[in-house]
Structure formats: structure tokens, C-alpha cells
């Protein structure tokens, strides 16, 4: 039986114990929002958070990371860097678990990306079941990400004064054995779990007017839609939608040189296809000049290109881009508008 119980009052000591051996990231309060942050004090962890500003993907693909370091001495000697710190990410919602699975595929398929994969290998995921929507922008139920059956090492479900813990991997089992004060779930606990899980579904609404599996075929007939021009007129090209997206992974690569000019590092940093420069080449040609083209590219990546490449939708319904957008461009409205236009044809 892989279901265990950890009392809520024992979570703090579990986290403290983890902190002795791992870098622990988890949701903490930031003014009236939440952010995944390295945990310095176990009491800060807020497993009851609604959503985070940035997704926990930053634990796997940091905003910036050093690929290699070098000396500027006229030679060419690059010292590759891999981040092998053992890490635990606490409280990952199921939408973000689905997003991480997509990122895993992206960085493992084709040419493997050792920087991502090594960090991934050293990262343990403790998920948490969502029992009510983060807010009005969540559309996880439509995207089929309201629950997860894999992609976590441990998975918690709130059953009142305790969490039911589902052990997903052997590494998760070890984590629990070494750091957690747990006991086997009783029949009564199972009843409470089943009640919690069966009650949750009616709290979430379907937001899409169609089934998400139709999204790739909907996108396929929507390339010439006038909607893209409308979005282009509104869009500020600020790039926030892609920065907060748990499945966006495009990056830039650049060199940074130390103040004394003797050493440097090559870094990769998050980039955004919404920015004007993204598809510009050195001779000046820009292959996605307009905001309309760039918005279309973004939604096609989510709805068609990524699913075609990896078999999973590129949108997990977390709603972060909708919350972040200053001009109210939301995936729910975009996808429903395209669907309505298609149905009217």
C-alpha cells in the first residue's frame, strides 16, 4: 500500500528535515500573492497557496544559468557547469506537474540537454492535489490537468487535519521514510480521501466550449483567422505571458564578462517569442515582425506545434498568462473565439 498519512502539524518538521539535505523550494506568501522560493524557514511554506506568480519550472530551468565558465587569456578553455544540487520542490499543483512532464520531453528528446536533465534528475517533486480552483482564470478542468497520476515523487491531498500522501517513486518513498513522521492510512482516512476527491470536481468549471483534444485540429484551420490581427492591436509585446507560462522554455544565450575582464561565463536566460527581437537575424530581417504574428506563434505553439511534436497539449490551463496580461488576452477567450468562428463556417 503506497498511501500514507502525515498530520498537518508534522509538515513543518518534515520540511525542516528535508532542508538539512536538500535545497527546498516551495510556495511562500509575497504580499497578496505567492511565489516558489528557496525555503529558509519551514513555517513559511504555504501548501494552501492558490497559484504562484512564476511557475515552479524555474526549479528546473532557472531564469538564468551558467552553461560554462572561461578565462579570457587568449586561449579557448571552457569549463562546463552542471547543477547537481539535490533539490525538493514542494507543493506543485497538478497543472504544473503536467507542464514539467512536457519540459522533460522537450529537453530529453532529440539532442539531450544535460544542464536541464541533470538538474531534473536531482530534483524531487512533491505535488499537491487541487481541491478548489486557484481563481476565475483557472481552466485546468478543460485541459485535463486537474489531477495527475504520475510525474511526482510524492503527492499530497488535504483531508482535513492531515495530508494523504501518495508515493509515486522509490525516491519519494525514501524521502518519506527518512524525513517524514507518517503512518499508514486507515479505512477512515481512505473514506475522507475519497470524499475530498469526489467533492472537488464540481467546484471546477469547464471553461472551453469544446474538448481540448480538438485543439490541434482547431488551430490547424485557424491560421488565417482575423483574431490574430485583433490580438496584435491589443498586445503590448511585454512578454509576460510567456515568462509566467509553465510550458514556455525558449531561451537566449549570452556571454557575461567579469569586471576585471579576465573571466566570463556563457549563460542561458529566459527569452520570449513575444519580443520584437526574437526572430530577427543579424542582417536585419525579422521573420515575425508584427505582434499579431507573434501572438499567433505563441498560441500555435500551445495548441498545435508542441502537441504535434510531443503528443501533449502545450497549455495546462493554469491561467497565469491571463492573470499577467495587462490587456486581458486570455487563452480561454482566444480558443473559444476560434472555436466559435469555426462553428459558424
Partner 1 sequence: MAIPTTDSVYVPSPAQVVKIVPLTQMEKVFTIELPNGQSLGHKPGQFVEVSLLGVGEAPISISSSPSRSNGTFELCVRKVGDVTTAMHNLTEGAAIGVRGPFGTGFPLEKFRGKDILFAPGGLGLAPARSVINQVLDERGSYGRVIILYGAKTPGELLFKDELDAWSKRDDVEFHVTVDRGDADWKGNVGVITTLFPRITINPRNTVAITIGPPVMYRFVLMELLGKGVPDGQIWMSLERRMKCGVGKCGHCQINNLYCCQQGPSFSYAQIKGVEEAVG
HSE of 238 in the Cβ direction (CA atoms, 13 Å)? Answer: 13
Binding residue (CB under 8 A) for partner 1 from 305, 310, 333, 337: 305
Among 31, 74, 198, 344, binds partner 1 (CB under 8 A): 74
Please give the radius of gyration of the chain, using alpha carbons only, rounded to the nearest integer.
22
Would you state the cell numbers that stand for residue 257, as one nine-digit string?
A: 564578462
Element housing 18 (H / E): helix 11-19
> And the C-alpha cell for 327?
490587456
Nearer to partner 1, 67 or 190 (CB): 67
* 189, containing H or E segment: helix 187-200
Report the distance separating Cα 307 and Cα 297, nearest Å: 14
Counting contacts by CB under 8 A, is residue 311 touching partner 1? Answer: no
Q: Which is nearer to partner 1, 32 or 74 (CB)?
A: 74
Q: Closest CB to partner 1 among 68 and 339?
A: 68
Q: Which of 57, 84, 74, 111 is nearest to 247 (CA)?
A: 57
Q: Which of 19, 35, 81, 238 binds partner 1 (CB under 8 A)?
A: 81
- Residues 6 or more apart whose CB falls under 8 angstroms from that of 230 comprise none
Q: Within a 10 A sphere around the Cβ of 124, how many other Cβ atoms?
A: 21
First-to-last C-alpha distance (Å) of the chain:
53
Interface with partner 1 (CB under 8 A), residue from 33, 118, 183, 340: 118
Nearest-10 Cα torsion for 258, 261, 265, 271: 70
Smallest distance from the beta carbon of 71 to partner 1, in angstroms? 8
Q: Which of 133, 58, 120 is nearest to 93 (CA)?
A: 133
Size of the site for partner 1 (CB under 8 A): 57
Q: Which stretch binds partner 1 (CB under 8 A): 42-50, 200-208, 277-285, 325-333?
A: 277-285
- Cα 116 to Cα 33, 56, 292, 345, distances in angstroms: 28, 14, 31, 44
Residue 202 lies near partner 1 (rule: CB under 8 A): no
User: Please, what is the Cα angle at 151 between 147 and 156, to 5 degrees?
Assistant: 55
What residues from 7 to 66 belong to the interface with partner 1 (CB under 8 A)? 66
Q: Does 312 bind partner 1 (CB under 8 A)?
A: no
Query: Which CB atom, from 196 or from 305, has the smaller least distance to partner 1?
Result: 305
75 part of the interface to partner 1, by CB under 8 A: yes
281 is an interface residue for partner 1 by CB under 8 A: yes
Instruction: Please pick, from the candidates 32, 198, 283, 345, the single residue that binds partner 1 as defined by CB under 8 A.
Output: 283
79 contacts partner 1 (rule: CB under 8 A): yes
Position 87 contacts partner 1 (CB under 8 A): no
Residues numbered 210 to 229 that lie near partner 1 (CB under 8 A) are: 223
Contacting range for partner 1; rule: CB under 8 A; set: 207-215, 302-310, 314-322, 329-337: 302-310
Residue range at the interface with partner 1 (CB under 8 A); choices 113-121, 127-135, 166-174, 192-200: 113-121
Angle of helix 170-179 relative to helix 11-19, nearest 10 degrees? 100
Distance CA 43, CA 30 (A): 14
Task: Using CB under 8 A, list all residues that contact partner 1.
Answer: 66-68, 70, 72, 74-85, 106-107, 110-115, 118, 223, 249-255, 257, 261, 264, 266, 268, 271, 273, 278-283, 285, 287-288, 293, 297, 300, 304-305, 308-309
Amino acid at each position: 500500500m503506497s498511501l500514507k498519512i502525515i498530520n498537518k502539524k508534522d509538515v513543518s518538521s518534515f520540511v525542516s528535515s528535508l532542508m538539512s539535505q536538500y535545497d527546498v523550494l516551495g510556495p511562500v506568501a509575497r504580499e497578496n500573492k505567492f511565489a516558489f522560493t528557496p525555503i529558509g524557514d519551514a513555517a513559511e511554506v504555504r501548501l494552501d497557496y492558490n497559484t504562484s506568480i512564476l511557475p515552479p519550472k524555474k526549479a528546473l530551468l532557472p531564469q538564468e544559468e551558467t552553461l560554462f565558465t572561461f578565462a579570457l587569456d587568449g586561449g579557448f578553455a571552457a569549463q562546463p557547469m552542471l547543477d547537481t544540487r539535490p533539490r525538493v520542490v514542494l507543493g506543485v499543483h497538478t497543472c504544473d506537474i503536467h507542464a514539467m512532464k512536457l519540459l522533460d520531453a522537450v529537453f530529453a528528446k532529440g539532442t539531450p540537454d544535460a544542464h536541464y536533465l541533470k538538474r531534473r534528475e536531482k530534483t524531487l517533486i512533491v505535488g499537491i492535489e487541487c481541491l478548489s480552483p486557484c481563481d476565475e482564470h483557472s481552466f485546468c478542468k478543460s485541459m485535463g490537468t486537474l489531477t495527475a497520476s504520475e510525474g511526482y515523487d510524492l503527492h499530497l491531498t488535504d483531508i482535513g487535519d492531515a495530508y494523504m500522501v501518495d508515493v509515486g517513486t522509490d525516491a519519494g518513498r525514501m524521502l518519506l521514510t527518512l524525513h517524514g513522521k507518517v503512518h499508514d492510512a486507515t479505512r477512515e482516512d481512505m473514506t475522507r480521501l475519497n470524499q475530498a476527491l469526489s467533492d472537488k470536481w464540481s467546484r471546477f468549471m469547464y471553461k472551453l466550449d469544446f474538448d481540448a483534444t480538438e485543439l490541434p485540429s482547431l488551430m490547424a484551420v485557424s491560421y488565417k483567422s482575423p483574431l490574430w490581427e485583433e490580438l496584435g492591436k491589443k498586445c503590448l509585446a511585454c512578454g509576460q505571458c510567456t515568462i509566467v507560462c509553465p510550458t514556455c522554455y525558449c531561451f537566449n544565450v549570452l556571454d557575461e564578462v567579469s569586471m576585471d575582464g579576465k573571466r566570463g561565463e556563457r549563460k542561458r536566460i529566459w527569452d520570449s517569442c513575444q519580443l520584437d527581437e526574437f526572430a530577427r537575424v543579424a542582417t536585419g530581417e525579422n521573420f515575425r515582425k508584427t505582434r499579431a504574428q507573434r501572438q499567433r506563434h505563441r498560441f500555435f505553439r500551445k495548441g498545435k506545434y508542441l502537441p504535434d511534436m510531443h503528443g501533449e497539449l502545450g497549455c495546462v490551463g493554469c491561467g497565469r498568462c491571463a492573470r499577467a496580461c495587462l490587456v486581458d488576452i486570455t487563452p480561454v477567450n482566444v480558443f473559444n473565439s476560434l472555436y466559435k468562428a469555426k462553428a459558424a463556417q
